[in-house]
Amino acid sequence: MTTLGFKGRVFVENHHLAVPYHELNPVRANGLSEKASLHDNLIVHGDNLAALKALLPTHHGKVKCIFIDPPYNTGNEGWAYNDKVNSPLMQDWLGKVVDREDLTRHDKWCCMMLPRLKLLRELLRDDGAIFVTIDDNEVHRLRSLMDEVFGEDNFVATVIWHKMDSPKNTARHFSEDHDYMLVYARNAADWTPNSLPRSEKMLKRYKNPDSDPRGPWLLSDLAARNEYSQGRYAITTPNGKVIGGPPAGSYWRVNRARFEELKADGRIWWGKSGNNRPGIKRFLSEVREGVVPQTLWPWQDAGSTRNAKQELSGVLGLEPGQDVFVTPKPSKLVRRVLQIATDQDSVVLDSFAGSAATAHAVLALNEEDGGSRRFVLVECEDYADTITAERVRRVIGGVPDAKDPVLQAGYGGTFSYFELGGALRRESMLDGSTLPSWEKLASYIFFTATGEEFDAGAADLEKWFVGRSRLYDVYLIYVDDVAVLKDMALTLPIMRELPPTDRRKLVFAPTKYVDQELLHQERIVFQQLPFEIYESADRLAP
C-alpha cells in the first residue's frame, strides 16, 4: 500500500503507543449529573491525543460514530503543534503557531493527525464509521492518512457539503462554497448506512390520480437508454393507439411478458387520456423506508456556515456580529451524520469538539426519536467550560429566546465534565521513581475498571477497599513506598480477610500467591499492578 511521506513521520508512526495513560478527574460543578460517570455523556477538557488514550480503558471498541472537524490548516487558524514526541526536530516545533509562512505546516498537520486517527480507530466499534470534515488545503493528505489507518477497502464516500447559502463576491478566483467530508467504516463490507427520512417535498411527488387502492405512486419511465435486446416491441394503448416502440435511442426497460404482467396488475399508467406513452407506477408503500444517503449535501438539508453562527449565537445569547468561532459547524450537519450512522443507543465521539455542535445534534435527535445516544466530547482549549460545556448546559436546560419551542423548553439530559489529569506511567511505578498515593491510584483504577465515579468517603485503606461498582467490589493492595511494595501480594491470609459476599471482587496488587482455581472459587478477578491498571470495563465484565 502506498504511504504518505512527510517530515517527522518516523517519530509519530507509533507515537500513540508511547502516550501514557492519564487520569480523568471529574469536575462535578461543571457538569449536569449528580454523580460523575464515564457511562454518562462526557466532556473532557485536555489535549485530545492524551484524552483519547485515557478513554481507551472504558470506550475501546464502543464508539458507533465518530465525527471530527480538525483544523483545516488554512494558515489562519492559529493552531500549534504540541505533541510531546521525543525528538529534537519535534521539540523545535512545539508551541509555535502554524501560519502560512511556515514551510513545514503540512508536515506538522500530518504529524498531528496520524496518531489521533490511530487512536480513533481503536475506539471505533466493528460496525462503526468515522466522518471527517476538511477542505482543499489537506483533503488529499487526509485521504492518504485515512487509507493507511483505516484501510483503502474501508473508504465509503467523499461527501460534498454545500456550506454557503450565498456566493462570496469578494473571492479572488472562485467562491469556495463547499467542504468535504471523508467517510470510512471500521469494516466497510459489513457497514450499512441508515436510510434518511423522506422530505415533505419528496412525499408530495407521490400522487394517486386514479384512486388506486394501493395508495399514492410515482411514475417511472418505461424507457431506458441501456441496450436491451428484448426492449423493442409495439405497445397498444387502452384506446387502441399503437406505439411502435420506445423513443429513438432508447429501449423498453422490461420485456413484453413482464410488461403484460405489470399491465394486468394495474401498474401501467397511460395518462388521463389513456393514449399517453406508458410509464410504471412505483407505489410509496412498496419502496424502501427512507432514501439512500447521497454524497451531495445542500445547505438547505445540512445547514450552512451562516446557520451555524446564528445557531451558536442564539444558544449562547451573543450580540449580533459577536463571533466566538470563525467556522462552527451547524448541528443540522452533524444530525444528518447521526441519522446515517447511529442507532438509538449509540456512543458518538467528537475529539475536536469546539462549539459542541455534536452534543447539540445528539441531544436534539434523542429528543425527537426517544433515543439514548451518548456523546463524548474532547476539547483542549480554555473555552471547554465557557463555550463547549455552556452550550450543552443551555440546550439541555432550555433556551428561552429560541424560535424552536422544543429548544425553548430544553432537550433534557445530563453530562459529566472531566479534566485531563497527570500521567500514570508504568515505568515510574516499576522503578519507584513516581508512586501515586493509595487514594490517587484507587481513584484511577476504579474509573478505568468500572467507568463509575470513585467515592473517597466509601474507601477504606485499612481493608484495601476501594469501592463498590455495579459489578464488583474493588480492592487495591498497595502502598506508595517502593521498599514495602516489593514484598506486597495478594496472599491467602489477605484473601481470607476480604469480607464474604456473593458479589465478585476485583483485586489489584503487585502479584499474587494464591492459585487461580481458588481465586475462581472465591469469585475474585486478579489484576496485576502496574500492568493491568488499564484493563477496560468491558473486558472485565462477567
* 307 contacts 165 by C-beta, under 8 angstroms: yes
What per-residue confidence (pLDDT) applies to 537? Answer: 45
Nearest to 493 by CA among 513, 511, 476: 513
Residues 162, 242, single domain; the answer is no
Residues 414, 436, single domain; the answer is no
What per-residue confidence (pLDDT) applies to 536? Answer: 47
Note whether residue 146 is domain-resident: yes
Whichever domain contains 167, its CATH number is 3.40.50.150
Cα distance between residue 349 and residue 283, in whole Å: 39
What per-residue confidence (pLDDT) applies to 532? Answer: 59
Note whether residue 451 is domain-resident: yes
Residues 185, 219, single domain; the answer is no
Any idea how long the chain is? Answer: 542
Residues 26, 132, single domain; the answer is yes
Last residue of a domain, one of 374, 392, 420: 420
Q: What is the DSSP letter of 329?
A: P
Taking 70 as the pLDDT cut, the residues of the chain under it are 321, 425-434, 531-542
Note whether residue 25 is domain-resident: yes
Last residue of a domain, one of 386, 420, 454: 420
Note whether residue 169 is domain-resident: yes
- Residue 124 has, within 13 A of its CA and on its CB side, a CA count of 27
What per-residue confidence (pLDDT) applies to 426? Answer: 60
Nearest to 361 by CA among 315, 294, 416: 315
Helix (H) or strand (E) holding 339: helix 331-341
Residues 175, 206, single domain; the answer is no
What per-residue confidence (pLDDT) applies to 433? Answer: 61
Note whether residue 305 is domain-resident: yes
- State the burial class of residue 34 (Cβ atoms within 10 Å of its Cβ: 0-12, 13-18, 19+): exposed
Cα distance between residue 145 and residue 112, in whole Å: 11
Residues 76, 168, single domain; the answer is yes
Residues 411, 434, single domain; the answer is no
Residues 357, 453, single domain; the answer is no
Residues 49, 142, single domain; the answer is yes
- State the burial class of residue 338 (Cβ atoms within 10 Å of its Cβ: 0-12, 13-18, 19+): buried
Number of domains the chain is built from: 3
Q: What is the DSSP letter of 247?
A: P
Note whether residue 185 is domain-resident: yes
Note whether residue 490 is domain-resident: yes
Note whether residue 1 is domain-resident: no
Query: Containing domain of residue 269, as a range?
Result: 200-286
Nearest to 445 by CA among 365, 525, 328, 373: 525
Residues 389, 485, single domain; the answer is no
Residues 478, 500, single domain; the answer is yes
What per-residue confidence (pLDDT) applies to 538? Answer: 46
Last residue of a domain, one of 394, 420, 446: 420
Residues 461, 414, single domain; the answer is no
